[in-house]
Chains A and B, each alone.
Chain A
Amino acid sequence: MGMAAAEWKFHVLAVDDSLVDRKLIERLLQKSSCQVTTVDSGYKALEFLGLRQGIESNDPTALSTSPQEVEVNLIITDYCMPGMTGYDLLKKLKESSVFKNIPVVIMSSENVPARISRCLEEGAEEFFLKPVRLADLNKLKPHMMRTKLKNQKLEEIENGTEAVEPEIKGSEDMGIKILPLQSELEPKQVHLQVVKQEEETLSNNKRKSMEEGLSTDRPLPRLEGGIATAV
């Protein structure tokens, strides 16, 4: 693919109302070779992403990168925060057509099973108990890699450096599962891939399923796509 080494640096947005915990998560992420931005509330997180009320674009040709043109590969947020909880933030992100594919991780000092399953069901990739350790963050690389590679793919498509693929019709004949076109993708040539139905595993232990999904025989990074249509 020819990506420069610097482009592999993941950018994580960390959200926590505790100054001590922000300092800690920042160091942990830096130690994991990530670029970090910390904010102290869900509101500030949304602001950073450019997702404010009425400002979110419904334009299907809009890019998936935030208006600040800073790519965020993962959002890690505390659960218990005044005003907007981590769960509220998670919901807002998953409701957003632009940001729903950014992996979200929830942290909490309390081990409440109902809370954990609620977060995972809402789409959180992982749930970490505080204090978060370096070992926990190692689990995040695959999630960030997914969005990174996806964004790289999108760039290649936009730059026209992507290899031209024939339009594919009658996907049922090929036995490939086609997912609905995501609004943030440029409706140009798109790779079709066999996609693991991760939605089915939501009711299972999401954490475990994530780990299972990391085996070497996992297909190429998931890229939701549909049949190419004229722009």
Chain B
Amino acid sequence: MDAHVAQLQMQYRNYILSLYQQGFLDDQFTELKSLQDDGSPDFVAEVLSLFFDDCVKLVGNMARALDQTGTVDFCQVGANVHQLKGSSSSVGAKRVKGLCINFKELCEAKNYEGCVRCLQQVDVEYKTLKAKLQDMFNLEKQIVQAGGIVPQVDIN
């Protein structure tokens, strides 16, 4: 059983490292993990859940705002981008945040096609991140079920 746990732990470590290396996560995610403890064992999962709910809501708002036949309210789109940028920054969702920065500029430039394209990218990106983090949580569960503890991964 120990060998199995060790293997899972190694798999987990490598997975987390790859998420950082590929730019999905940044050090704010590390901060989130450090705030989790025995008193709040599901903190990271809870915050991420709120974040992904936010993504659904805000992407929906932006899609509606960009779907106006006639004049598009770029301020409205921009306001939603601002919120998404904020929450992605707060959870360490690096790629989503990066897209939001571009998106903001496109809104300010009132670049319709650019905005539509960027929104699609945001949609893909947050869903990809969600799937990746789900895999991460599944690995954690497997480790615990195998009788091991989830290792702290040192990003440096």
Contact = CB atoms under 8 A, between A and B. Distances in A.
Q: Do A and B associate with each other? A: yes
Interface of A: 18-21, 23-24, 27-28, 30-31, 80, 109, 130-131, 133-134
B35 interface: yes
Interface residues of B, number: 23
Contacts of A24: 32, 35, 47, 90
Contact of B31 (A18, A19, A30, A133): A133
Nearest to A19: B50
B20 interface: no
Given A18-B83, A20-B50, A130 B90 contact: yes
A18 to B, nearest CB: 6
B87 interface: yes
Nearest to A16: B86
Nearest to B51: A20
Contacts of B47: 20, 23-24, 27
B28 interface: yes
Which of A21, A24, A80 is packed against the most chain B CB atoms within 10 Å? A24
Contacts of B40: 27, 30
Contact of A18 (B28, B46, B87): B87
Nearest to B34: A134
B94 interface: no
A133 B34 CA distance: 11
Nearest to A108: B86
Which of A20, A27, A28, A131 is packed against the most chain B CB atoms within 10 Å? A20
B98 to A, nearest CB: 14
B54 interface: yes
B95 interface: no
B33 to A, nearest CB: 12
A214 to B, nearest CB: 24
Which of B34, B54, B90, B91 is packed against the most chain A CB atoms within 10 Å? B90
A193 to B, nearest CB: 38
5 contacts: A18-B87, A19-B50, A24-B90, A109-B89, A134-B35
A19 B35 contact: no
B35 A31 contact: yes
A200 B105 CA distance: 40
A18 B82 CA distance: 11
B31 A134 contact: yes
Contacts of A131: 28, 31, 89-90
A20 B35 contact: no
A80 B50 contact: no
Given A27-B35, A31-B35, A133-B31, A20 B90 contact: yes
B43 interface: yes
A23 B47 CA distance: 7
B31 A23 contact: no
A21 B47 CA distance: 9
A194 B91 CA distance: 45
Contacts of B51: 20
A30 B54 CA distance: 23
A78 B72 CA distance: 28
Interface in B36-55: 37, 39-40, 43, 46-47, 50-51, 53-54
Contacts of A27: 35, 40, 43, 47
B6 to A, nearest CB: 31
